Amino acid sequence: MLSTRSALLATDWPYHRPLFNLTVKLTFKETLTLDQIMSLIETKWIHATFDTGQLKYPELRQYLTKWMGFFFWKSEQDFRLERHISEIHLKTQKDLGQLIDALVLKPFEEGLSPWRGILVQIENSSKNQTVALLSWHHCMWDGFSTINLFSELTSSDIQKRDYSNKMKDFERYRNQYYGTFCQKCLFLLRAPYEIILANVESYDPIQSNSWHLPQRELQRVWKTASGKKAIDIKLIKKVKAKFGVSFTSVLTAGITSATRNLMMKNPPRGVPEFINAGFPLPLPRHTKKLRNFWALTTLKLPVGEKDPVKRLFKIERRLQRLKRSTKPVMSILLLPLLGGLFPWMLKFIFSNRYTSMTISIMPGPSEEIKDSTGEITADGMEFYISLAQGNTALFEGGSYIITLRRSPCKEGYISACNYYRILKCVYIHTCALLGNLRTKLQR
């Protein structure tokens, strides 16, 4: 049976009109053949096993089926890897961008596991490179499971080295504020009040926010925009050290600045003091299997604040309060319960009627992805995602080695999207995200 957290993401049904498709674009330094890719995936993923002999990723051979309204896994009748992996020849990079946009909304074939791989050869490219696209439905796995898959292609454990300390930090905060008996009692007293308050505070008023439209005005029209350059993570760390704030605060402040700039360029209702953003939280002790293991919370972004440094400190204070809030913990507890409801109930519950935007940054390795022979090396990684029903904009990106990329189309991407309508926006350069903070830093 599909896990309850994953069931929340399967309500759109991946074989009809999927809204939770994810795609990762890997650019390899070498020219690869389809046989090389298929051999690598078959060895490292399809036949990968634990020490007990149990398959690590049986879902890659299983498709979704419904019984009494609930979702179950069922083995493919005639599993063949070539039904999931194909090769395509394109003329230009523009054609590649159009292909990726199509994959984000493309349904999967009935009776097959909802994932696909495409090896792309670009005919008019001056570089000796190959592009590989991995597309899957979000009900199968999340970003950390993707890192698990990529770690299978290397001789090192990417996830363990890069993220174990962050998971320990999460557990330390959890134990600090919810560990003792008295703190648990206090949590039970605070939780009902904070849940009600969060539901009220998370709703963005339609009257004062041009990014939050009435349901009757929503349309299913896609608009995308891309940045020109990747952001060097060293710059984010430099700003972090200068102002004594967290890495997440700097990144969120950059996105808030970009959002403010967009609102000022198209201000039919002006720029509100705050807008709400929803974002997923990775949870500690993520299994090595293909799973969704996350929680959801919201954060107020001070888009109305003119001073970039004050904006940064406001975000830092809100993030610190969020760590002490019951909101993330209640999300951890409630999401599995909600996922156990009937799908028709989930469809209504999982429609975003509150926040104006969502922020999704996919974790990536800090070292190059290489196969064990060293003959195949990934030169870059980009991340693409669509959104489910509701009114929202999406800022998305993915990290690889020492850069943070906004994806998809060119080297970066920012999309403002929702189920019926994707809000019109313009492309944002790296300087639009962190330029103001960098100016303050140079002073």
CB-CB contact of 211 with 394 (8 Å): no
Is the model's pLDDT at 424 over the cut of 90? no
Query: What is the model's pLDDT at position 202?
Result: 59
Query: What is the model's pLDDT at position 434?
Result: 41
- The DSSP-derived string for 26-74 is EEESS---HHHHHHHHIIIIIT-B-TTS-BS-GGGGEEEEEETTEEEEE
- pLDDT tens per residue across span 345-382: 777 666 777 778 888 777 666 666 766 555 667 777 77
Instruction: Take residue 268 and report the two structure tokens written for it.
Output: 């039919």
pLDDT band of 261, cuts 50, 70, 90:
confident
**Greatest mean pLDDT among 16-20, 57-61, 245-249, 380-384:** 57-61
Is the model's pLDDT at 198 over the cut of 90? no
pLDDT band of 270, cuts 50, 70, 90:
confident
pLDDT band of 150, cuts 50, 70, 90:
confident
Query: What is the model's pLDDT at position 6?
Result: 86
Lowest-confidence region among 107-121, 241-255, 284-298: 284-298
Is the model's pLDDT at 32 over the cut of 60? yes
| Rg over CA atoms, the chain | 22
**Residue among 388, 414, 395, 433 at smallest CA distance from 225:** 414
pTM (global) more than 0.85? no
Is the model's pLDDT at 310 over the cut of 90? yes
pLDDT band of 163, cuts 50, 70, 90:
very low
**Residue among 305, 279, 311, 309 at smallest CA distance from 294:** 279
Is the model's pLDDT at 214 over the cut of 80? no
Rama region for 19: left / alpha / beta (φ>0; ψ in -120 to 50; rest): alpha
Is the model's pLDDT at 135 over the cut of 90? yes
Lowest-confidence region among 41-45, 138-142, 145-149, 413-417: 413-417
Q: Which domains does the chain have, with CATH numbers?
A: 177-361+388-395+413-442 (3.30.559)
**Greatest mean pLDDT among 129-133, 228-232, 283-287, 414-418:** 129-133
Residue 173: count other Cβ atoms within 10 Å of its Cβ: 13
Is the model's pLDDT at 413 over the cut of 70? no
Rama region for 177: left / alpha / beta (φ>0; ψ in -120 to 50; rest): alpha
Beta bridge pairs of residue 414: 225
pLDDT band of 430, cuts 50, 70, 90:
very low
